[in-house]
Amino acid sequence: MKQSAREILILTCEHASNRLPAAFKKAVPAEVLKTHLAYDIGAVQVFRKLVKFAKPEFYCEGKFSRLFVDLNRTITNKSAFSEYYDALDKATAAKAKAQATAYWSEYRTAIEKFVNANTKKEIIHLGIHSFTPELNGKVRNTDIGILYDPARPQERAYANVIKAEIKRLYPAMKVRFNYPYKGTSDGLTTTLRKKFGPRYVGIEIEINQKFFQR
């Protein structure tokens, strides 16, 4: 599916970094920051290569760990803020959450502002993520996941094209739809679908972190 003149590509990587702002560093053990709990291992490398290759009109990446705030969750979702806030005293935690909320809002607002500025265009949004090969003792049985809303025809069409292209280039690659997560779960794409309707196409690419551990 070749991008037309009426389509605009945007790329994002919400869990690009495991960095923490100074006020929150003491809350998270250093060893945790090296794990998938803190960020999507390998995702930012793929994201930056795609930016260089595809030259999207808009792109952005998270600069702090999801343990500070998860950019891919609505701010009211209880999982937006990690359990590590409990390690801080009440005043410090409140201040850190206020900073995290402002950062979350800035990130989301920049994306929405761009989409709003292109009202006559169809927005094709690819969110680049990665997942741990094993979670809670269960091995994730795929190499790449393509998350989308099956009820949206345009997203289904793009998901099929992306899968076909991956399989053309890498026939042995195992590619699955809406795995290891559902494409309709709370996230940036689900929020943008509600805000911008049919002209917004939101697809998340999930890459198995085993490829970055070799």
CATH of the domain at 37: 3.40.630.40
Distance CA 178, CA 37 (A): 21
Could you tell me if residue 46 is left (phi over 0), alpha (psi between -120 and 50 degrees) or otherwise beta? alpha
Q: Which residues does the chain have with pLDDT short of 70?
A: 1-5, 214
Residue 1, in any domain of the structure: no
Residue 2 has a pLDDT of 53
Residue 72, in any domain of the structure: yes
C-alpha distances out from residue 36 to 2, 56, 107, 116, 199, Å: 34, 27, 21, 33, 33
Structural domain span for residue 147: 7-212
Residue 3 has a pLDDT of 55
Residue 212 has a pLDDT of 95
Residue 1 has a pLDDT of 47
The answer to whether the CB of 200 falls within 8 A of the CB of 192 is yes
Residue 2, in any domain of the structure: no
Residue 28, in any domain of the structure: yes
Q: How many domains does the chain have?
A: 1
Residue 213 has a pLDDT of 83
Kindly report the pTM of this predicted structure.
0.95
